[in-house]
Amino acid sequence: MLTPYYADEWLTVYQGDAATVLRELPAESVHCVVTSPPYWGLRDYGTPGQLGLEPTPEAYVEAMVGVFREVRRVLRKDGTVWLNMGDSYGLKPKDLMGIPWRLAFALQADGWYLRCDIIWAKPNPMPESVTDRPTKAHEYLFLLSKSPRYFYDAEAVREARDPAQIEWREKYAETIARWGQRREEGIAPGTNRNDGLATQANGSARNLRSVWTIATEPYPGAHFATFPRKLVEPCIKAGTSERGVCPECGAPWVRVVELGEVTATGGSATGARARNMAIVSPLGQNPKSGAFNTGTFEAHEHLTTGWRPSCAHAAEPVPAVVLDPFAGTGTVGLVAQSLSRRAILIDLSTDYMGQLLHRNRQAPLGLGA
């Protein structure tokens, strides 16, 4: 019987090897995983059995795939994994190893769906003394799922539109209108290389993009690689239901979203453009496209009018469960609790248990990260 290092209503902490601990957790019991494993060949944390010190990249990737097989077992079929991975130089001087993509492809080959590669752009990267290549200022965040359809709350992570784009559209509104008029007059689409720009929406929010510019976050403790809270927050918001999950079967509650006022109009919005402007179900069903036709489109506000269960049970929802199998100082748990989600944290190092608990016991529930 696995005994937690610490447990309360919102937080459960295990000290030990990730794969070993995961084998003791119930199957299909976790809604979302957000984690940043030790990078290969980067640091020795002084803990026997730690990942990242394997003699070759291949051995490291093999070990990671083994851990994530256990992650897949405890993750619900409608769950997601958000995996942060940085790169390193290794086998010969000046040779970038490509570890993030080696791992991503290995996980894909092992059965995971590789849904998106997200660029974590760092405006305050670590300084480097190199003069024969650019300074490294990004890492990868991979969105993985165990099923083709899964919970994803796009409404929770909509982002503000680029003011420069809005200003450009306002400045050239007359030109854009002329493009639309040319279509009405029968000029074939594609005659002008700018044809179709009028279909870009000018609403107050847009679908989350795959480049996230987030500064690294200093932490006064001894841990070298603290997850920025702002990097974790959109993962948890998109990957778990804000309203909660069914206490009987664990199914997430989903938003009831309606179209509000028109925020933009434009010319032809067929195909991918139209689908991108529609409401998409958080469980992966086809988008509603009734607001579009082959001639013009209207972009609407997305209004959350309520929540509904995605199962047949009528019980009041309970908080979703977020897991980090490589918890470090516990940033994922801190953010999860601040967003009113339960957290399960695992870390091999006994040295970080004190820091992890100190941070997480002070987490204000439901106040945002």
Instruction: Give the residue from 309, 336, 352 where a domain finishes.
Output: 309
| pLDDT value of position 354 | 85
pLDDT for 114-145, tens place per residue? 999 999 999 988 888 899 999 999 999 999 99
pLDDT of residue 267 exceeding 60, the answer is no
Q: Which two tokens stand for residue 131?
A: 């003069």
| pLDDT value of position 359 | 83
217 and 267 in a single domain? The answer is: no
CB 125 within 8 Å of CB 115: no
Asked if the structure places residue 282 within a domain, the reply is yes
182 and 44 in a single domain? The answer is: no
Note the residue count of the chain: 369
pTM for this one? 0.81
Characterize the bridge pairing of strands 342-347 and 321-324.
parallel
190 and 279 in a single domain? The answer is: yes
pLDDT for 328-347, tens place per residue? 889 999 999 999 999 999 99
SS3 state of residue 344? strand
Question: Which residues, 6+ apart, have CB-to-CB distance to 11 below 8 Å?
Answer: 333, 337, 342, 343, 345, 360, 361, 363
268 to 213, 278, 301: CA distances (angstroms): 32, 14, 19
Across the chain, mean pLDDT equals 81
Asked if the structure places residue 367 within a domain, the reply is no
Asked if the structure places residue 366 within a domain, the reply is no
192 and 338 in a single domain? The answer is: no
Provide the domain limits for residue 337. Answer: 6-155+209-250+312-361
Asked if the structure places residue 102 within a domain, the reply is yes
73 and 186 in a single domain? The answer is: no
pLDDT above 70: percentage of residues in the chain: 72
218 and 78 in a single domain? The answer is: yes
DSSP 318: B
Neighbours of 163 (CB within 10 A): 8
304 and 215 in a single domain? The answer is: no
Asked if the structure places residue 368 within a domain, the reply is no
CB 33 within 8 Å of CB 325: yes
272 and 357 in a single domain? The answer is: no
What does the angle CA 62 – CA 118 – CA 93 come to, to the nearest 5 degrees? 55
CB 178 within 8 Å of CB 197: no
Q: Which of 139-143, 225-229, 297-301 has the lowest mean pLDDT?
A: 297-301
- What CATH number did the domain enclosing 40 receive? 3.40.50.150
Asked if the structure places residue 343 within a domain, the reply is yes
71 and 220 in a single domain? The answer is: yes
pLDDT band at 169, cuts 50/70/90? low
| pLDDT value of position 294 | 45
Total of domains in the chain: 2
Asked if the structure places residue 239 within a domain, the reply is yes
SS3 state of residue 78? strand
140 and 75 in a single domain? The answer is: yes
78 and 166 in a single domain? The answer is: no
127 and 182 in a single domain? The answer is: no
SS3 state of residue 264? strand
